[in-house]
Structure 1
Amino acid sequence: MTTPEPQPSSPQPSEPVSKDRAYRSPAGIAGGVLVLALALWLGIDALVAGDGRTPWAAAAALLFLVPLVAAYTVRPAVYANDDRMRVRNPFRVIVLPWAQVESFRSGYSNEVFTEGGDKYQLWSIPVSLRGRKKAARREDRRVAGQGGQRRGLFGGGGGGVFGAGGAGSLEDGPVRAETDKVMDELRDLLEARKAAETSQGEVTVRWAYEILVPVLVGGVGLAVLLATG
């Protein structure tokens, strides 16, 4: 009787990769969808009903405009997990392991800086000066309301805990604009994961040829048609 050979044990599954958090601009996407719908409506109408060179010009214009509009409105996104962040900008995709990220900066645009000194703009997280002003006004009302609460509770005043502007507490933290909250989340993730073993690696940059090629072809075709018309 032969003894069966021991079968090799199946490899243990590796730890699951953390799920990406996606950051996109709802206003940018909504605006892009509207512009794309209008461009497609006008372009298809010209293709179907146009005479002479009009359908060719419409096709070239669509080939040029549709990817370009999509690149700046629908395409941008930032994906972040425990190991790295992936920045999908209009014409490039940048993958940055947390160990290679030096800092974030929020001025008139939100940007990420690498340890090597490179800078990349975060197109999908636009700075809203209007949102910051609105958040500052809400923060002023919150702080003023907390002053009224304290007078009502401890000073015998008539404001009470339900005085005007008394939403939240001082412990809740200051009111922030939405995009500033997103940047705070990314900074917290960087601080927590920068030294992790799985966050090591090199920065990679890939050009979005799926956007660049049709834009170039459509632009050249449109220019030729206009020049020879």
Structure 2
Amino acid sequence: MKQVYRSRTAFVLAWVWLAFVAINVFDLIVRYTGKPSLVALAVLGALTALVYAVALRPATVLTEAGLAGRNPFRTTFLPWASIDDVTVSHAITVRYGDEQVLRLWTPMSTARERAKAQRRATAPAQRGRLKTEPTLSKGEQAALEAFAGKTHADWVGDQIRDRAESARRRGEEAAPARVTWSYDSIVLVVVAAALVVAALVVA
């Protein structure tokens, strides 16, 4: 089964930006003022290309065959058995092959999120005469314990580590990594930059 993990904050903000751009493009077309409008449209296009590359495209994809790390300008695919180690700090770092490293763009954990997770793990149960605690089912209690002290990045790192260990136990072959360029991001950024240069020259 395919699982896709993204930065929820970046994803939401990217779509907010796209809505903002759509409104402004409509306004610039309706109130077209010549060269200034062309420059503004080109700048909006360039910024939108960058937003796509750094906010919409990056994702960590878990498939049956392996891990696909989609970064702004390239995708690295690692078969599960080829993964040697996974560490999580503010980002997920995957070591594979001959001491090679893949740093995943998403999900990342901020210092604030990590501190919140630690507080959640060490928070004492609040009980008193006027306070009642809801009774949790065994499944809910197990989920609470599994997530205690962990950020979203920690949890995704655990999933990657578990799948890699399972693949090695099954005796799967450690096939080499495959790295491909993200031509859509590259073309968008190049075209957007060319439009900005052209608009500035015309202006």
My pick for the range that moved more, 62-71 or 82-91, is: 62-71
Determine which of 39, 51, 59 is the counterpart of 1:69.
Answer: 51
1:5 aligns with: none
Matched, 1:33 2:7: no
Counterpart secondary structure, 2:78: strand
Gaps of 5+ in 2: none
Question: What is the rounded CA distance, in whole Å, between the counterparts of 2:181 and 2:42 in structure 1?
Answer: 22
Q: TM-score, normalised by structure 2?
A: 0.81
Question: What is the rounded CA distance, in whole Å, between the counterparts of 2:47 and 2:168 in structure 1?
Answer: 40
Q: Are residues 56 and 196 of structure 1, via their aligned partners in 2, closer, same or farther at CA, if it must alter by over 3 Å?
A: farther
Question: What is the rounded CA distance, in whole Å, between the counterparts of 1:70 and 1:97 in structure 2?
Answer: 27
Question: What is the rounded CA distance, in whole Å, between the counterparts of 1:189 and 1:36 in structure 2?
Answer: 36
Q: Deviations over 1:54-76 (max 9, x none)?
A: 34324422432222102211221
Q: Are residues 177 and 102 of structure 1, via their aligned partners in 2, closer, same or farther at CA, if it must alter by over 3 Å?
A: same
Q: Are residues 121 and 43 of structure 1, via their aligned partners in 2, closer, same or farther at CA, if it must alter by over 3 Å?
A: farther
Matched, 1:24 2:2: no
Determine which of 100, 105, 118 is the counterpart of 2:87.
Answer: 105
1:85 aligns with: 67
Q: How much has 1:95 moved relative to structure 2?
A: 0.7
Q: TM-score, normalised by structure 1?
A: 0.73
Question: What is the rounded CA distance, in whole Å, between the counterparts of 1:48 and 1:118 in structure 2?
Answer: 52
C-alpha contact 1:32 1:69 (8 A) present in aligned 2: yes
Counterpart secondary structure, 1:194: helix
Indicate the percent of aligned positions where both proteins have the same amino acid: 26
Q: How much has 1:109 moved relative to structure 2?
A: 2.0
Question: What is the rounded CA distance, in whole Å, between the counterparts of 2:177 and 2:163 in structure 1?
Answer: 17
Matches within 5 A, 1:1-229: 19-141=1-123, 144-145=124-125, 168=141, 172=145, 174-194=148-168, 196=170, 200-227=174-201, 229=203
Q: Are residues 199 and 61 of structure 1, via their aligned partners in 2, closer, same or farther at CA, if it must alter by over 3 Å?
A: farther
Question: What is the rounded CA distance, in whole Å, between the counterparts of 1:83 and 1:55 in structure 2?
Answer: 48
Q: Which amino acid aligns with 1:223?
A: V
Q: Which amino acid aligns with 1:70?
A: Y
Gaps of 5+ in 1: 1-18, 150-158
C-alpha contact 1:82 1:189 (8 A) present in aligned 2: no
Q: How much has 1:164 moved relative to structure 2?
A: 7.8
> How many corresponding residue pairs?
196
Q: Deviations over 1:2-59 (max 9, x none)?
A: xxxxxxxxxxxxxxxxx11221222221111111211222133213322222343244
Question: What is the rounded CA distance, in whole Å, between the counterparts of 1:63 and 1:163 in structure 2?
Answer: 55
Question: What is the rounded CA distance, in whole Å, between the counterparts of 1:53 and 1:163 in structure 2?
Answer: 66
Q: CA RMSD in A?
A: 3.0
Q: Deviations over 1:123-181 (max 9, x none)?
A: 1211122121111112112xx44xx99xxxxxxxxx8xx98899858x93543222211
Q: How much has 1:210 moved relative to structure 2?
A: 0.9
Question: What is the rounded CA distance, in whole Å, between the counterparts of 2:30 and 2:174 in structure 1?
Answer: 54
Q: Which amino acid aligns with 1:191?
A: E
